[in-house]
Structure 1
């Protein structure tokens, strides 16, 4: 397109276009051509009475995203103004929006386990936003078009254009916004939105995915999803209807409470026991041979081999079932690394590591059991474990 922004960002193509501007695919010349997304606000296309308001929204989005680091949020690298236009340079996310996925299915429901895996990621992100200091963040416009999903199933929440900081002493929002069908009842009036408003929007989005019925056709009127799709579990239907309660006092009290309910339903849907200290996975690893004259053995196991997500970055108990169908992945992905020290392991013998994972709902407890090729126990290493997650950052909750 022969445009360069700030003498740095070379515009390649248009990713999307809206009433207030465009999103471009750009290459960052200062980062060896790294691909980014450039969100542009064009003040010329906005009515005069809304220009100041739109600029405030745009600046708020840049400020919010620039201070946040989370695997389900796009990174912001830069923001600036040029010739009456305003730009945010952010992470380029490959994939499709949930809206595109739903449109392609033409009213057909999406498999429950897949929907629950997305909902788990979204509710975890909502919890992350709600515990920000000094002020919690309310997304306010959670809907399929603002949810990006990449090939691996990783969710990214995009478009923080109308997000806001929650202030307890305010009686109402400065601006009233929301998308009919997904917006909570309080967003149609003058009350203040909080995380329970986002919980309603997530419930509406889950309802749409599980039933194929677009809530925009008849806002605030939701039938029990189990009646519309008998393949839905009762647990999933209960979660959706509680999130969609007209009275927000009857919804989940927090995003964390909803996340925990979704996680339990996902365990049930996957046919695995729930948390609470119970075993949720046990897999035999690749056979190992202890080299001669060595009494220390390292066992490296890809987390996907244990039912965990195969993504680089943060590993937490949530990630165990983020991927309903784990895929193989490259050498740079997260791995569990066990160190076994025992004189009972004889040189040159074949041993089979057996990995067991337990969780109490918040702590990830892997145990490695070493057995000989014939069935008796040789050594056990429970505490001698190191977790290697390349690119890890402290955004997850252990």
Structure 2
């Protein structure tokens, strides 16, 4: 076991033990240089049978988590493989397991459970949207942490797996009895997104009733059997989640999320009132619709009203963008719900998030920013999900309008690549850039856009493997190929006459990668002359870029230009330091350093 007060890997000071399981111990540690607390999970070789098998499972789990980025998931910071132990450094999550909350306080308040369920739906939807989808398979109260702010975190990915369409069934039976879906037991088919929906339904049952489905009577009764005051609508949702046949459950977490947000509309009393209203409407309508022709005219009129209402929603959203942001978003979302196959409202909402809702920083600096935040990203994913009575998602409807879908995929991919949380999320951009890269040219998405999507998709594809190595310790990425694709990205943008913003964003990516991975590029045979040549080209193009005062993006372009010129100078220093081991000195143009010979194309 780790000793309290000891220093791990030269930077993590062990403060105290905060948890212990069957094969691991969890410690609270402090990185004193960064002044930040982390959790360190230790699995010791002498405390576990089949340690190598367990270690390989932990490696799979950590590799899986490294690819993910969601506010309800912990981040893996470091993995330390020692002689006698395997250490995982991860986010320290302050709070309690929901299992301990139930054990101490019993059944939880219905409103709280619904709020937790929405968050869990969102994170499961995120996992299921990965390529390939990730199936969690072990949802239960002990794997959900409740933080003091009411936010829940999904932990322990030991049984998660990537979905494989070619598999008829899972090779192993994993999960927790009572919470596990029937298909998790061998011979009942392959687990998929609907498996997680079953497990979530069982978890909600436990939280609402206080009765553990993995304990006697080993059966989930309707929740109002235990508490008649609970919502009949919520009871119906949980019964549907926990159907034995996956086809009888909700087919996606988006569909389940919509049901949870409208659970009161499923209540028996609500349905009774709606039935009375509907009968009254039919009685009135029967007096006016006298023939088939009348019905056709009614349908035409309905479509006309629907179209004009959609345009009214979009127009009003645009008018409210700067004065009432929340109402603006609601109008865009209303338009999407009304006609999910029309791409205009999706584009408007995304554009609002990137520009109107981000015109100045929140830190009082006044700096112009273009950030696609966590909250905004979740809202986009929500409107792409289920928002109507159909089992089809809004994204399914938008796909039918291929031209609009391809254009939105391109814009969303760019937003993820460059703007997510201010730094970009390359893994999340892959799905959307791939869709755009495979599109046929249209008026909405031209050949330049598609070419750019292809370049960025290749760059994004490298990111999942940048920190991965095979068993021989070799990098899973060819940094020479990576370098060539980075250079091709900026050169293509230059040749295509991209806008100032696109050009600045492309060079921002190139300069950042040179600054952070100069050593890896050097190891792949890329010379300092090649890197400095690209930095000099960047300096020349960026410093000579004309910013047209008064245009919509002028302030943003100027801020990015100034920042990038400074970053280029810092990157040149990094390159010089990386190649300084040979003590070869020389100078080139704008602050550049030249040495060695050029062995490959710049």
TM-score above 0.5, yes or no: yes
Instruction: Determine the structure 1 residue equivalent to 2:29.
Output: 26
- What RMSD in Å do the two structures reach over aligned CA positions? 2.9
Give the alignment of 1:211-222 within 5 angstroms. Answer: 211-218=209-216, 221-222=219-220
8 Å contact kept, 2:81–2:87: yes
Q: Which residue of 1 aligns with 2:257?
A: 259
- State the partner residue of 2:128: 130
Q: Does 1:54 align with 2:54?
A: yes
TM-score scaled to structure 1, two decimals?
0.68
* Structure 2 counterpart of 1:386, from 336, 351, 357: 357
Aligned to 1:36: 38
SS state of the match for residue 126, structure 1? helix
1:193-204 pair list within 5 angstroms: 193-204=191-202
Q: Taking structure 1 as reference, are residues 168 and 204 closer, same or farther at Cα in structure 2, changes over 3 Å only?
A: same
Q: Residue 189 of structure 1: CA displacement?
A: 2.0
1:13 maps to which residue?
16
Tell whether the 8 Å contact from 2:236 to 2:266 is kept in structure 1 after alignment: no
Partner of 1:320: none
Report the equivalent of 1:66: 66
Which residue pairs with 2:378 in the alignment?
396
Measure how far apart 1:267 and its partner are: 8.6
Contact 2:72 2:123 (C-alpha < 8 Å) held by counterparts:
yes
Cα deviation digits, residues 85-110 of structure 1 (max 9, x gap): 112211111111101110111x3x21
- Equivalents in 2 of 1:387, 1:211: separation in Å? 43
Distance 1:170 1:338 in 2: 48
Asked if the contact 2:232/2:266 (under 8 Å) is kept, the reply is no
- Note if contact 2:146-2:153 (Cα within 8 Å) is conserved in structure 1: yes
Equivalent of residue 157 in structure 1, options 127, 132, 154: 154
Larger CA deviation: 238-247 vs 179-188: 179-188
For the pair shown, the structure with the greater C-alpha radius of gyration is 2
2:186 to 173, 177, 189: 189
Deviations 1:248-303 (A, max 9, x none): 2211111221122112227999xxxxxxxxxxxxxxxxxxxxxxxxxxxxxxxxxx
Deviation at 1:167, TM superposition (A): 0.7
Aligned length: 297
How far is 1:385 from its partner?
5.1
Q: Which has the higher contact order (CA 8 A, sep 6+)?
A: 1
Give the drift of 1:172: 2.7
Q: Which residue of 2 aligns with 1:285?
A: none
Within a 5 Å distance, the mapping from 1:252-331 to structure 2 comes to 252-265=250-263
Deviations 1:331-376 (A, max 9, x none): xxxxxx9745xxxxxxxxxxxx897455436989xxxxxxxxxxxx
CA deviation profile, 1:138-190 (whole Å, cap 9, x unmatched): 11111111100111111100111121111111123233211111111222224
Deviates more, 1:227-236 or 1:142-151: 227-236
Query: Are the aligned partners of 1:182 and 1:219 in contact in 2 as well (CA < 8 Å)?
Result: no
What residue is the counterpart of 1:238 in the other structure? 236
| Residue 242 (structure 1) shift | 0.6
Q: Deviations over 1:199-238 (max 9, x none)?
A: 1111011001111111111376211112221121111111
- Cα 1:74–1:127 change in 2 (3 A) is same
Change (3 A) 1:171 1:41: farther
154, 171, 174: which one pairs with 1:174?
A: 171
Whether contact under 8 Å (1:40, 1:87) holds in the other structure is yes
Decide whether aligned partners of structure 1 residues 267 and 146 sit closer, same or farther in structure 2, where only a CA change above 3 A counts: farther
Could you list the per-position Cα deviations for residues 296-330 of structure 1 after superposition, in whole angstroms to 9, with x for gaps in the alignment? xxxxxxxxxxxxxxxxxxxxxxxxxxxxxxxxxxx
Task: Give, in whole Å, the separation in 2 of the partners of 1:267 and 1:27.
Answer: 49
Q: For the residues of structure 2 that align with 1:164 and 1:355, how far apart are their CA atoms?
A: 38
SS in 2 for 1:100: helix
Contact 1:185 1:220 in 2 (8 A): no
Q: How far off its partner does 1:2 sit?
A: 2.2
Structure 2 gaps, min length 5: 268-319, 347-354, 363-370, 381-602
Distance 1:81 1:219, change over 3 A: farther
Q: CA distance change for structure 1 residues 74 and 183 in 2, over 3 Å: closer, same or farther?
A: same
Q: How far is 1:116 from its partner? A: 0.5
Structure with the larger helix share: 2
Which structure 1 residue ranges, 5 or more long, are not aligned?
A: 270-336, 341-352, 365-383
- For residues 119-155 of structure 1, the C-alpha deviation after alignment (integer angstroms, 9 at most, x for no partner) is 000011111000102x111111111111001111111
| Distance of aligned partners of 1:94 and 1:267 in 2 relative to their CA distance in 1, 3 Å threshold | farther
Decide which moves more: 175-184 or 147-156: 175-184
1:4 aligns with 2:7: yes
CA contact (8 A) 2:325 2:357 kept: no
Instruction: Return closer, same or farther for 1:11/1:395 CA change in 2, 3 Å cut-off.
Output: farther
